[in-house]
Amino acid sequence: MTRVAVLFGGISAEREVSLSSGRQVIAALAEQGFEVIPVPVTRDLKALVTALTEPRPDVVFNALHGRYGEDGCIQGILEWLELPYTHSGVRASALAMDKAAAKAAFAAAGLPVAKGCVVPIAALEAEDPLPLPYVVKPLNEGSSVGVHILREGCNGRAEIARNWRHGTVAIAEEYVPGRELTVGVLGDTPLAVTDITALAGGGFYDYEAKYGAGGSRHIVPAAIHPRAYGEALEIARAAHAALGCRGATRADFRYDDTGGEPGRLVLLELNTQPGLTPTSLLPEQAAYRGIGFSALCRWMVEQAACGG
């Protein structure tokens, strides 16, 4: 019987999301007949290494989210221990988590990205780095943690800068009106396009809208122009390849259809550790393609690798 260690929890701002993903994955893998070893991750690195060596699992299922879980850190530890693990490797994980580096890679691959710049927080406090409206977000957080939209007439920029808790720099990007879309990819196969409407968070797809019950409405397949639908699938596949990802990823887009369809697609980022919670998007798209949640988790285990 294959022994699978499931890493969940962690020490990032997304700990609660990871705990939810981990609980789902543990149940799913047990249902699939694996011997499951739950490994709650804390700041105790020695305890983590011990849990992964005594006894030694056959595969590690990485259900961590956010910093240290999807930025190449835990992947490096697993490489050191020579343990096969799910999702992307060290390089792809680090690239995807660094929004500026990922954006540069996407642009080099000819993919559509938002106009913007990296801005020191002190400079943000002093003046607007872009014409309003624009978006400010952390360089290396996920789940919309720390994201702010500054609209016409907004005077909260200096307060945002003074209360910033996500490093010494931020990313400022043009605000793209329209819809929020996402595309999951398994291996080199894009699954579907989901249209997301936030019902919480004042219409912004923030942490509450993503993970709260009833926080958002997901329409899959998205009711958009067929040409835009096909382009979104291809861009997600190309973004996955551009960063050298493996396993499952999820590409997030803005789709500006305010001037009519087909509209303008803008790739925002690529998530190498898509959520596996009861409200998450990747499992929903997999189900649309006929892949149940436990089968999806099995597929991830089967794709686990060490190296890269």
Report pLDDT digits (tens) over 102-158: 999 999 999 999 999 999 999 998 899 999 999 999 988 765 678 899 998 787 888
Specify the pLDDT at position 199: 64
Range with the poorest average pLDDT among 81-95, 124-138, 221-235: 124-138
- The answer to whether residue 77 scores a pLDDT higher than 60 is yes
- The answer to whether residue 180 scores a pLDDT higher than 60 is yes
Which of 70, 206, 252, 284 does the annotation list as catalytic? 252
Reading the block at residue 65, the tokens are 């989210």
**Is 15 an active-site residue?**
no
In the chain, the amino acid numbered 112 is P
| C-alpha to C-alpha distance for 76 and 65, rounded to whole angstroms | 15
**Is 250 an active-site residue?**
yes
Residue 29: other Cβ atoms inside 10 A: 24
Specify the pLDDT at position 103: 96
- The pTM of this model reads 0.90
Range with the poorest average pLDDT among 59-63, 64-68, 75-79, 149-153: 149-153
Range with the poorest average pLDDT among 34-48, 67-81, 110-124, 213-227: 213-227
- The answer to whether residue 214 scores a pLDDT higher than 80 is no
Residue 153: other Cβ atoms inside 10 A: 7
**Is 82 an active-site residue?**
no
Q: Per-residue confidence at 68, pLDDT binned at 50, 70, 90? A: very high
**Is 208 an active-site residue?**
no
**Is 175 an active-site residue?**
no
Which of 62, 140, 144, 271 does the annotation list as catalytic? 271
Burial letters 184-211, b for 16+ CB under 10 A, else e:
bbbeeebbbbbbbebebbeeebbbbbbb
- The answer to whether residue 198 scores a pLDDT higher than 90 is no
Which of 21, 143, 144, 280 does the annotation list as catalytic? 143
Specify the pLDDT at position 207: 47
Specify the pLDDT at position 279: 86
Q: Where are the alpha helices (DSSP H) in 157-288?
A: 157-162, 207-211, 226-242, 281-288
280 three-state secondary structure: coil
**48 vs 202, more confident:** 48
In total, the chain counts a number of residues equal to: 308
Specify the pLDDT at position 234: 98
Specify the pLDDT at position 209: 46
Report pLDDT digits (tens) over 243-297: 999 999 999 999 999 999 999 999 999 999 999 998 899 999 999 999 999 999 9
Q: Which domains, from first to last, does the chain contain?
A: 3-87 (3.40.50.20), 96-112+177-272 (3.30.470.20), 116-174 (3.30.1490.20)
Mean of all residue pLDDT scores within the chain: 92
Reading the block at residue 28, the tokens are 């799913």
**Is 275 an active-site residue?**
yes
